[in-house]
């Protein structure tokens, strides 16, 4: 219990040792002085709060917000000193905001707890006391032997002990970890691989020594010491032995493994990168506006305090006959009185700071985010995937994007590989009807219709069939004769691979006659033109991004030791000493220019002496506990040399649908597109040209293959000079990973200058962290542009997290990018709708919401300030405390919230078809200083009209009565302080609600209901509040005030006149600007209005005439259901029904 408390508080000491010792099945040494190491339990915790810390932690986080903390201070001041308003006026809105926010955050955390409990409570089977025991995942301890069945996920990080296969191998997919959906092979050490029963495993006596937990998914160094018949056998353990939590067992019936890392120490949990909190530009603007209004508040409070004492300098006003001071007041300190008065004025004017703004914005973001998921235009029918929102805090940022950084493979392309061409021994081949045909020959030509393969062709295809990580569906490998039906016809093999390129190549080889039929133990089986051959797999030299190649060492049926290698041409060609190297290099470049992904294939024969030396070096490197990776890299380089080049392959990755149109639309919207890819230079350029990222007329500049700072800097200077000289022409820049590293090291400013003057930038041969570095470089540049990163694989996660907005593509490379993104879509083409429609709407809605909130609070508090000039700055409140409390919560909150959810100032179809409209809202145009100043001045203007309009219309020609009431001549109406304040308040509620109505372009029944309903609710509430004596209220200053006010015809006349006077200038301004200086958005509004009018016009026509009208305004589809019922489907919109045509 004590240790658990220490863990929760973060006081548990770190591991003292660099390694951990794990006794399998927790069989610890019997000698008494042994103290077991302490390890974390297997609970996964992704939640933020617990039952015990929710209240204090949540309150602490909420009061870190300036507005919340400010209102807390005001509330405490109201409690401590005598202020003109009740503490309830500040406390109730504050309580409402804090409660709503806490409920929202608590609900979200409850969902996280629910997900955690589901994971931690999942049933698992553990070997204990000679049998299988069912328990919960959270109860697994380090050292337990766990059984996992087919298609189950691994509950902990396990070292594989055995599987249902004789060789102790199993296949897993790690899509949830690294984005790779295809199968990976893991193997157990031979001594434990034979222990396939629970009884045998329970007798196992072994110890594992391994490194302490680290986040690297691909690194694991350890060794296992097995005690057998009084001797100890030591075997190395590497990544091939480690089964990671979150991975899924495939193509294997069951495995047994020992838990080495549990809970928050698993590699999956260590890769939970705590995302830096992304804040939108709108939120930053809100904080700036808040500070400005805080300054206005302080100015008003200080000015009022000074004017109060200036006024009271005259003796007759310091202590009038109706307000004599007490002895205590006369003797109190002037400084304390000044501070007290200042705080009282601060409380009086504090509502100029809109406390409910934050909670309204949060509700708007949370509720508004559902529209993205509901949008059927973002639904991909083939994969049954709809858009998803992982964070609602950045909705409006979708309307501010200036740079898009995109991955290529799987994002711009389908990640569906198809074999197209290959080069064998310097001759290009194509696949024609399942046959390998040399270029220039057709199937009908003499050499094109061959039924046999030449020696070089067969060796090349065998290399392709042996050097890979491809697996075959277990159901197809059962049986001695392989995958054949009873009638003798072969069934197609179902291949799984960790690389889609490998899968495409093995499938192509099988079509042309060399078929990989599977593995059995350490034997690989191949059928060459129907003749079976068995190769013994001796060693696998795994692929790594530094070598950019993989190799296998096999023993041929004749006993010859062969090395087959395939990889990038930059890593194979320099290591080749024979073969058609020059011709193959030319062919590789030709393949790349066609947009094909290229791989080179080579081989090497070993003498018995060479193989013996290689085996010795590999064993030494693989059993090393220190610097194992470096030693293996050296040995691999020693083996993979003096190669004989066999040829090269060209595989096509198809472009996704509507890629060209989407990229062109982004360019028209003023958004610059950068493609960041790991592919080779030629392939990347070819794909950029084919997808429209680069134009054929564009001047392509290159910064590639630089090895030194000086040459890189010189090239950058030349490029900058060239751009200046050819400033009329559009430029595109191509830069590779090595040159980029040099450019960012010392020439960052020059590099950025070149990039910003280019219309499109392509970065190839990029490592994942380089992608993030490029995004950060643009993000932190002096202009601070808003960036968006989009990708589909685990290698894009760092880029997605770095950008202001991260978007994951639900592709074939797993869910890692989707889980770490802010938004997820099924295809790149959906990006245009997401930005141009949803982003545009969200930004306009929230920009108006924020400024409207400040406007209506200026309208609210300024009359209170003006009133002080008429009451000798006595801090008398103009409004009743109930009105003060409910103004922002009830009377004016719903219309703006509904506006911010449903407003569509331009038709969605128009926004998507005219990407240039996106430029109108770029660079935070609607939340800049000018719009903010306009709304603030408008608020002050309306407030002056409210106050002085009411004063002039209802307060003139009056006589003061003895009881402090004012009597209008010729009218039996009480017109005192509360009546005047209520009149101002009534005018204000109607005006600010009508102002919201003027801003609304898209009216639904909900808008009508809340707009007019808010005004009606105010009148009904006021009649009930002032028309009844409520027993629970101590004082009721408003009794019968509202009823008497509304009983006067002149009051109604004043209300109507003041409201019209306020809004008339707004209407005039809108009309004049729209006709004299219309923006492109306003022109689009008029266009969309004409379309809407056309809709209504068509609905009133006979059916034959309606059809003609429809064709003129480019309707996408007409479906006639009956003579009285036509359904019209417009491009990009949902179906509409016109009845009774």
Give the span between the Cα atoms of 1109 and 48, in whole angstroms. Answer: 58
Paired strand residues for 644: 578, 603
Q: How many whole angstroms separate alpha carbon 889 and alpha carbon 476?
A: 67
* CA–CA distance, 631 with 1091 (Å, rounded to integer): 71
Phi, psi of 296 (to 5 degrees): -60, -45
Give the position of tokens 């694989």.
Answer: 793
Question: To which residue do tokens 């508040």 refer?
Answer: 297
Alpha-helix residue ranges (DSSP H) falling in 955-1048: 977-999, 1005-1027, 1041-1046
Which is the catalytic residue, given 341, 375, 407, 880?
407
Separation CA 42–CA 1000 (nearest Å): 54
How far, in Å, CA of 774 to CA of 384, rounded? 34
CA-nearest of 634, 640, 506 to 565 is 640
Query: In this structure, what token pair is assigned to residue 1005?
Result: 């029944």
Residue 609 host element (H or E): helix 608-622
| Nearest partner of 222 among 160, 301, 177, judged by Cα | 160
For residue 876, which of 80, 316, 344, 323 has the smallest C-alpha distance? 344
Which tokens is 499 given?
Answer: 């690389």
Collect all residues with Cβ–Cβ distance below 8 Å to 708 and sequence separation of at least 6: 742
Nearest CA to 371 out of 833, 805, 925, 809 is that of: 833
How many angstroms from the chain centroid is the CA of residue 1113?
Answer: 37
- Pair 396, 473: CB distance under 8 Å: no
- Look up 407 and say whether it is catalytic: yes
Question: How far apart are alpha carbons 107 and 366 in whole angstroms?
Answer: 12
Tell me how crowded residue 718 is: count the other CB atoms within 10 A of its CB: 13
Closest of 646, 630, 532 to residue 579, by C-alpha: 646
DSSP letter string over 542-553?
EEETTTTEEEEE
End-to-end CA distance of the chain: 76
Say how far apart CA 705 and CA 693 lie, in whole Å: 22
250 and 183 Cβ atoms separated by less than 8 Å: yes
Length of the chain: 1141
Residue of 171, 176, 197 lying closest to 186 (CA atoms): 171
Active site residues per annotation:
407
């Amino acid at each position: 219990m004590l240790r658990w408390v220490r863990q929760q508080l973060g006081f548990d000491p770190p591991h003292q040792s660099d390694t951990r010792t794990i006794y399998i099945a927790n069989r610890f040494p019997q000698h008494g002085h042994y103290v077991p190491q302490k390890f974390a339990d297997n609970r996964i915790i992704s939640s933020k709060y617990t039952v015990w810390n929710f209240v204090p932690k949540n309150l602490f986080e909420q009061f870190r917000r300036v507005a919340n903390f400010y209102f807390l201070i005001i509330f405490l001041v109201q409690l401590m000193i005598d202020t003109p308003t009740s503490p309830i006026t500040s406390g109730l809105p504050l309580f409402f905001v804090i409660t709503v926010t806490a409920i929202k955050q608590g609900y979200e955390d409850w969902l996280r707890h629910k997900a955690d409990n589901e994971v931690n409570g999942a049933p698992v089977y553990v070997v204990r006391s000679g049998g299988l025991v069912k328990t919960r995942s959270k109860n697994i301890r380090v050292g337990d032997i766990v059984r996992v069945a087919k298609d189950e996920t691994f509950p902990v990080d396990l070292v594989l002990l055995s599987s249902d296969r004789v060789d102790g191998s199993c296949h897993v997919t790690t899509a949830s970890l690294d984005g790779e959906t295809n199968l990976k092979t893991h193997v157990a050490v031979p001594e434990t691989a034979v222990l396939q029963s629970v009884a045998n495993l329970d007798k196992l006596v072994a110890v594992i020594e391994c490194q302490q937990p680290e986040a690297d998914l691909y690194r694991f160094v350890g060794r296992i010491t097995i005690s057998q018949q009084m001797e100890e056998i030591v075997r190395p353990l590497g990544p091939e032995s480690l089964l990671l939590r979150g991975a899924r067992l495939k193509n294997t019936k069951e495995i047994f493994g020992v838990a080495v890392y549990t809970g928050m120490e698993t590699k999956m949990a260590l890769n939970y990168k705590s995302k830096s909190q992304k804040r939108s530009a709108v939120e930053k603007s809100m904080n700036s506006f808040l500070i400005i209004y805080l300054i206005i508040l302080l100015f008003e409070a200080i000015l009022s305090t000074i004017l109060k004492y200036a006024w009271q300098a005259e003796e007759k006003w310091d202590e009038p006959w109706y307000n004599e001071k007490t002895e205590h007041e006369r003797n109190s300190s002037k400084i304390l009185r000044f501070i007290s008065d200042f705080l009282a004025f601060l409380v009086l004017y504090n509502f100029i700071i809109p406390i409910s703004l934050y909670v309204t914005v949060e509700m708007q973001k949370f509720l508004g985010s559902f529209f993205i998921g509901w949008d059927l235009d973002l639904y991909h029918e083939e994969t049954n995937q709809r858009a998803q929102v992982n964070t609602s805090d950045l909705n409006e940022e979708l309307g501010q994007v200036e740079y898009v950084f995109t991955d290529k493979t799987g994002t711009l392309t389908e990640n569906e590989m198809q074999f197209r061409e290959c080069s064998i021994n310097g001759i290009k081949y194509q696949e024609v009807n399942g046959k390998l045909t040399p270029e220039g020959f057709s199937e009908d030509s003499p050499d094109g219709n061959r039924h046999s393969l030449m020696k070089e062709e067969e060796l090349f295809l065998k290399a392709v069939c042996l050097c890979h990580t491809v697996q075959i569906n277990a159901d197809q490998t059962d049986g001695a004769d392989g995958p054949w039906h009873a009638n003798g016809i072969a069934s197609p093999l179902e291949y799984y691979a960790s690389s889609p390129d490998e899968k495409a190549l093995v499938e192509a080889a099988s079509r042309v006659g060399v078929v990989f039929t599977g593995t059995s133990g350490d034997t690989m089986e191949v059928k060459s033109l129907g003749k079976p051959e068995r190769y013994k797999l001796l060693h696998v030299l795994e692929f790594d991004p530094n070598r950019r190649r993989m190799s296998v060492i096999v023993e041929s049926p004749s006993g010859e030791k062969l090395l087959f290698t395939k990889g990038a041409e930059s890593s194979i060609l320099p290591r080749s000493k024979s073969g058609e190297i020059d011709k193959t290099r030319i062919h590789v470049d030709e393949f790349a220019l066609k947009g094909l992904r290229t791989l080179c294939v080579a081989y090497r024969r070993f003498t018995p002496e060479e193989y013996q030396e290689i085996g010795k070096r590999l064993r030494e490197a693989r059993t090393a506990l220190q610097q194992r990776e470096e030693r293996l890299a050296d040995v691999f380089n020693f083996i993979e040399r003096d190669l004989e080049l066999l040829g090269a392959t060209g595989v096509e990755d198809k472009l996704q649908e509507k890629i060209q149109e989407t990229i062109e639309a982004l360019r028209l919207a003023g958004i610059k597109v950068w493609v960041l890819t790991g592919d080779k230079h030629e392939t990347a350029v070819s794909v950029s040209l084919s997808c429209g990222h680069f134009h054929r007329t564009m001047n392509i500049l290159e910064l590639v293959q630089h090895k030194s700072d000086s040459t890189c800097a010189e090239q950058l200077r030349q490029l900058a000079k060239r751009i200046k000289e050819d400033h009329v022409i559009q430029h595109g820049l191509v830069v590779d990973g090595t040159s980029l590293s040099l450019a960012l090291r010392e020439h960052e400013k020059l590099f950025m200058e070149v990039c910003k003057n280019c219309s499109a930038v392509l970065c190839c041969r990029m490592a994942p962290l380089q992608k993030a570095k490029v995004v950060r470089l643009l993000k932190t540049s002096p202009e601070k542009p808003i960036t968006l990163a989009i990708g589909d694989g685990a290698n894009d996660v760092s880029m997605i997290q770095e950008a202001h907005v991260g978007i994951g593509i639900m592709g074939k490379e797993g869910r890692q990018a989707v889980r770490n993104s802010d938004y997820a879509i099924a295809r790149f083409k959906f990006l245009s709708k997401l930005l141009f429609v949803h982003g545009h709407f969200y930004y306009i809605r929230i920009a108006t919401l924020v400024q409207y909130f400040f406007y209506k609070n200026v309208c609210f508090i300024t009359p209170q300030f003006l009133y002080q000039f008429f009451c000798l700055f006595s801090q008398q409140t103009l409004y009743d405390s109930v009105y003060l409390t409910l103004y922002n919560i009830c009377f004016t909150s719903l219309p703006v919230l509904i506006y911010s959810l449903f407003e569509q100032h331009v038709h969605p179809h128009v926004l998507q078809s005219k990407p240039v409209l996106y430029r109108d809202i770029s660079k935070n145009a609607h939340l800049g200083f000018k719009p903010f100043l306009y709304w603030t001045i408008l608020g002050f203007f309306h407030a002056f009209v409210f106050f002085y309009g009411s004063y002039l219309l209802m307060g003139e020609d009056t006589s003061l009565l003895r009881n402090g009431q004012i009597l209008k001549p010729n009218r039996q109406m009480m017109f005192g302080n509360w009546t005047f304040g209520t009149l101002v308040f009534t005018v204000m509620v109607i005006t600010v609600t009508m102002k919201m109505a003027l801003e609304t372009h898209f009216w639904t029944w909900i808008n009508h209901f809340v707009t007019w309903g808010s005004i009606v609710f105010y009148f009904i509430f006021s009649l009930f509040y002032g028309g009844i004596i409520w027993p629970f209220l101590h004082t009721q200053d408003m009794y019968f005030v509202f009823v008497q006010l509304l009983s006067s015809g002149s009051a109604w006349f004043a209300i109507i006149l003041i409201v019209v006077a306020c809004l008339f200038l707004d209407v005039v301004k809108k009309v004049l600007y729209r006709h004299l200086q219309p923006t492109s958005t306003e022109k689009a509004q008029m266009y969309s209005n004409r379309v809407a009018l056309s809709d209504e016009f068509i609905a009133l026509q006979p059916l034959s005439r309606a059809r003609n009208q429809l064709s003129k305004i480019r309707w996408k589809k007409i479906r006639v259901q009956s003579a009285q019922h036509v359904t019209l489907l417009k491009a990009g919109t949902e179906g509409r029904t016109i009845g009774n045509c």
